[in-house]
Structure 1
């Protein structure tokens, strides 16, 4: 019995945060950081599950019992165990042959990035389990976490993509986004994990005039892809921030934390946490370090 290893890339949403849910054209990039899933068959009908973080330390360790069509765990009060059972049961519903024998498995997951970075701990796991179960990862996402699905698309691609939901279908296309000024783009982590479900809920509660906003975002996304100068790209970032701020009644992150910064800053994904995109003529690492933000990653070290 041989081991199987599955791998998926992390993700960053460069444009159309929130409004991608309503059909806006989004620009997204898979990251060089991802997550692997190693599956080793064993003779006992159990799943021995261990999850390792980016420092190779175990952060989750439990055993699931496989009993016919059900998956049980003695660790009932653990939210991670319950979530994994939900994902595995949903996988079985999509493919009844999955985990449907007397054998079990030793499972290891290995993250390449800190869990609080927001690069897709869940989406890479969903995609890897879908590959293992031989099912559609978008369907598995819909049965579990929900969301637009752009993160699932990134998990499976090796270059920038555009992503759009049109008539309930996911339209994923390769993008030629590879800015000549990419050495002046950086990703800065805001030292806190943002729950995207909370952000989506806030968006739905506050959104107004979504239709006109979608048209404007579509235009900005295409301009970002084709942009030839850093100055123009910075203008596009600011326009995007102002549009989403008005739509969701939130304050742009630059206005909250970085008013004195000489450059453009744009939120990525759910506002208020995870990474922001920074465009700056000078390397901004010293500035952000002085403000207590020590994770500053150049574009070329993050994007595939």
Structure 2
């Protein structure tokens, strides 16, 4: 018996950091994602796990004893521990999960680079939750933490507004298909940023939480309603300046792209992964000349 699950990757266009404290964020699912294939086998008593990257090469391999989820062999002990933690948490939420199982062969398949920060972990968590028939948000929070917007993106096929209300996820599908979308690009900064470290730094800062939530939520609503590229760019810059003051960090534009004529906005943890930029057809050449050749137009990246 074989089962297949799939989850979308994610991009958070507004609300980074502040979304953890209840700010309204605009997020979009990516055209890229991850699948999980489950094949039940004969009486091996083993869970054999293989993870494939976008080039169809194995980047992780592990073998586990289903009795107690004990590690037998692995190519990466840290990833194996994470998997055991996720599967154990899933089992605690649904005791019937992996119960009386004879054996499994698991394959995960990414169609994007693991370094992109599009949700290698969140897509895996959502896929495991589907397989185990449990709450993916609870699995995320008990295993990793985070706001949960990435889980929402994994499950939706269009733009969403995401907000935590009393620690409960509130998701609303929203029409965000700007007339100027061909002037919006996503550029990868050639490095992956640790969300955990970024959040720790954010928590160390002293600022008015209520003021930040109000400001960011207002910007998010205006971004959705933007009728012109100029208005959208102004909001991007306002969002960047607001977070720059809170984090005590320079904006990515002032740090790397001072001479770029368009707007530049960090997405997620500042300093890594993708940034959203606005510009004309010359924008990809500009970033390529700076050493950032991974550049996608809005319609190429967003589902």
Scaled by the length of structure 2, the TM-score of the pair is 0.98
Give the CA deviation at 1:209.
Answer: 1.2
Task: Give the number of aligned pairs.
Answer: 301
| 1:65 pairs with 2:65 | yes
Contact 1:184 1:283 in 2 (8 A): no
Contact 1:41 1:105 in 2 (8 A): yes
Secondary structure of the equivalent of 1:74?
strand
In structure 1, what is the Cα distance between the partners aligned to 2:252 and 2:167? 32
Give the CA deviation at 1:142.
Answer: 1.1
Contact 1:25 1:164 in 2 (8 A): yes
Secondary structure of the equivalent of 2:66?
strand
Give the CA deviation at 1:213.
Answer: 1.2
Gapped regions of structure 1 (runs ≥ 5): none
Over residues 164-187 of structure 1, what are the superposed CA-to-partner deviations in whole Å (9 max), with x where a residue is unaligned?
A: 001121100001111110000000
Instruction: Spell out structure 1 runs of 4+ moving beyond 6 A.
Output: none
Scaled by the length of structure 1, the TM-score of the pair is 0.97
Over residues 76-97 of structure 1, what are the superposed CA-to-partner deviations in whole Å (9 max), with x where a residue is unaligned?
A: 7710001000000000000000
Find the counterpart in structure 1 of residue 94 from structure 2. Answer: 95
Secondary structure of the equivalent of 2:28?
strand
2:72 to 30, 51, 74: 74
Q: Residues 207 and 16 (structure 1 numbering): CA distance in 2 closer, same or farther, change over 3 Å?
A: farther
In structure 1, what is the Cα distance between the partners aligned to 2:250 and 2:287? 19
Correspondence list, 1:152-301, <5 A: 152-301=151-300
Secondary structure of the equivalent of 1:80?
helix
Q: Residues 74 and 207 (structure 1 numbering): CA distance in 2 closer, same or farther, change over 3 Å?
A: farther
In structure 2, what is the Cα distance between the partners aligned to 1:174 and 1:264? 26
| 1:23 pairs with 2:22 | yes
Find the counterpart in structure 2 of residue 12 from structure 1. Answer: 11
Over residues 11-49 of structure 1, what are the superposed CA-to-partner deviations in whole Å (9 max), with x where a residue is unaligned?
A: 000001000000000000000000000000012211110
Give the CA deviation at 1:282.
Answer: 4.0
In structure 2, what is the Cα distance between the partners aligned to 1:30 and 1:157? 7
In structure 2, what is the Cα distance between the partners aligned to 1:257 and 1:17? 20
Correspondence list, 1:132-147, <5 A: 132-147=131-146
Contact 1:207 1:248 in 2 (8 A): no
Gapped regions of structure 2 (runs ≥ 5): none
Contact 1:52 1:108 in 2 (8 A): yes
Contact 1:75 1:81 in 2 (8 A): no
Contact 1:15 1:221 in 2 (8 A): yes
Secondary structure of the equivalent of 1:228?
coil
